[in-house]
Structure 1
Amino acid sequence: MDRDLIAARDLAADLAVRAGRLQLDRRDTLTMGAPKAHANDVVSDVDIASERLIVDAVTAAWPDDAVQAEEGHGRPGDSGWSWVVDPLDGTRNYISRTGPWSVCIALYQGDHARMAIVHDPAAGETFSALDGGGAFLDGEPIRASSGPPLAEALIGVSFQPNPRTKDRAGRVIRELLPLSGDIRRIPAALNLVYQACGRLDGGLALDTKLWDIAAGALIAREAGVVLGGHGPDFSTELTIGAGPALWPELAERVRAAA
């Protein structure tokens, strides 16, 4: 079944901006829910309201599409198309006011990502990509860093804050920090889109979920970021990204430690 990807992108961008505005408006009055998988896996009523806003609109526009959504508003579909939604990637940053967060929407045809939006509400920035159509920031084309050597590179690090993954992240950081220019911890979607626009030279994400990386990965790839994991394909268990020049050394170091 054909799909107007430009129309899908435009709707997703509008929904992401609307969800981001909701998050900014309700930040002072949010209500926390019970932790999910572990004590550091937090959720608020704003996460849930943002997801509902996005999923309701997508379902109204394409009722036969499937939806995978972090906060439980997913649904099956039979069109061959599926939406992958993280309504608020970086909830801990959002509620504590200690860093950035984003709204992430990706559209898949089968197992293939075809459209992606990552919106940063605080910065008012929207990153987008269509499969084979390049990557953009607020409508302007973006490209990945040409890549300084690892000793000068700024590397993004993303990981789930559960005990097992924190131990993995500690090993990777101990390996990378003395060898790299510096590192930044940042939510996974922004890690990937910052690589796409050259703000980060490379990055890695450990033990994510598909909704954490689906949108950012397509944007990064369309901008020229090389992505992989322990093998040639990235995964939710390990995603490594960098420009072509930096990729071999960064990937070798991360794979050895992760």
Structure 2
Amino acid sequence: MGAPKAHANDVVSDVDIASEQLIVDGVHGAWPDDAMQAEEGHGRSGGSGWTWIVDPLDGTRNYVSRTGPWSVCIALYQGDSPRMAVVHDPAAGETFSAVDGGGALLNGEPIRVSGGPPLAEALIGVSFQPNPATKARAGRLLRELLPLSGDIRRIPAALNLVYQAAGRLDGGLALDTKLWDIAAGALIAREAGVTLGGHGPDYTTELTIGAGPSLWPELSARVRAADL
């Protein structure tokens, strides 16, 4: 494991760096005019109007400690619009994917959002950066949300979103992420019928809320009221 990045709990492993280099080299070799945004620093501009958003290992702490799931995430944007996404979980042998307007898939088979129990019975995913300020913010939210929900799971942001897409989680929220944490998962979730938003109608890296249509009004209202 390498040195921390922004803070002591923001770690990077040799596998993050090697995975990103492999992806960047492959994309650049095939589409040299495309731009790139990648977590470990392989950013570049391009003239094609297309941008690849890469998280080479979402859930590094889980990976290095062998205590939870992790994934590799790639999204392709045309301008500001996501057009294609893949979230691959090598340990589980699962590949979630979507093309804009084409639905969401898991290992090539269609997936769909949960029908949505009420919040009191719902399983909610929670994702947040482990810096002191965000942990304090998450703590305030969880104090409000945990007694009201069926149960809560902490999970990396990309898998939080694709598990909502597959109906494994009924809803979720992610706090203070980066674009590469949520870009791929958000498109897959949207294509599976997950309603996404933040403090306003659009999800952001500051706050992403997701849920099936029936759970969305209650979950989004509770999160927005608590996250002040």
**Same fold at TM > 0.5:** yes
Question: How far apart are residue 147 of structure 1 and its match?
Answer: 0.4
- Residue in structure 1 matching 2:219, options 250, 253, 256: 250
Counterpart check, 1:90 vs 2:74: no
Question: How far apart are residue 210 of structure 1 and its match?
Answer: 0.1
Question: How far apart are residue 256 of structure 1 and its match?
Answer: 1.2
Question: How far apart are residue 34 of structure 1 and its match?
Answer: 1.3
Q: Does 193-202 or 73-82 show the bigger shift? A: 73-82
Give the corresponding residue for 1:40.
9
Counterpart check, 1:141 vs 2:78: no
Give the corresponding residue for 1:237.
206
Question: How far apart are residue 211 of structure 1 and its match?
Answer: 0.1
TM-score (norm 1): 0.88
Give the 3-state SS of the residue equivalent to 1:248 in structure 2: helix
Aligned residues: 227
Question: How far apart are residue 212 of structure 1 and its match?
Answer: 0.0
Q: Which has the higher helix share?
A: 1
Counterpart check, 1:70 vs 2:39: yes
Give the 3-state SS of the residue equivalent to 1:177 in structure 2: helix
Structure 1 unaligned spans of 5+: 1-31
Give the corresponding residue for 1:217.
186
CA distance in structure 2 between the aligned counterparts of 1:57 and 1:74, rounded to whole angstroms: 14
CA distance in structure 2 between the aligned counterparts of 1:195 and 1:257, rounded to whole angstroms: 22
Counterpart check, 1:184 vs 2:146: no
Give the corresponding residue for 2:134.
165
CA distance in structure 2 between the aligned counterparts of 1:151 and 1:204, rounded to whole angstroms: 16
Give the corresponding residue for 1:15.
none
CA distance in structure 1 between the aligned counterparts of 2:90 and 2:105, rounded to whole angstroms: 16
Q: Stretches of 4+ moved more than 3 A in 1?
A: none
The percent identity for this pair of structures is 87
Question: How far apart are residue 226 of structure 1 and its match?
Answer: 0.1
Give the 3-state SS of the residue equivalent to 2:177 in structure 1: coil
CA distance in structure 1 between the aligned counterparts of 2:66 and 2:91, rounded to whole angstroms: 11
Structure 2 unaligned spans of 5+: none
Counterpart check, 1:195 vs 2:175: no
CA distance in structure 1 between the aligned counterparts of 2:124 and 2:3, rounded to whole angstroms: 33
Question: How far apart are residue 199 of structure 1 and its match?
Answer: 0.1
CA distance in structure 2 between the aligned counterparts of 1:53 and 1:133, rounded to whole angstroms: 27
CA distance in structure 2 between the aligned counterparts of 1:76 and 1:146, rounded to whole angstroms: 41
- Residue in structure 1 matching 2:144, options 175, 184, 208: 175
Q: Deviations over 1:98-145 (max 9, x none)?
A: 100000000000000000000011101000000000000000000000
Q: CA RMSD in A?
A: 0.4
Equivalence map 1:43-54=2 (5 Å): 43-54=12-23
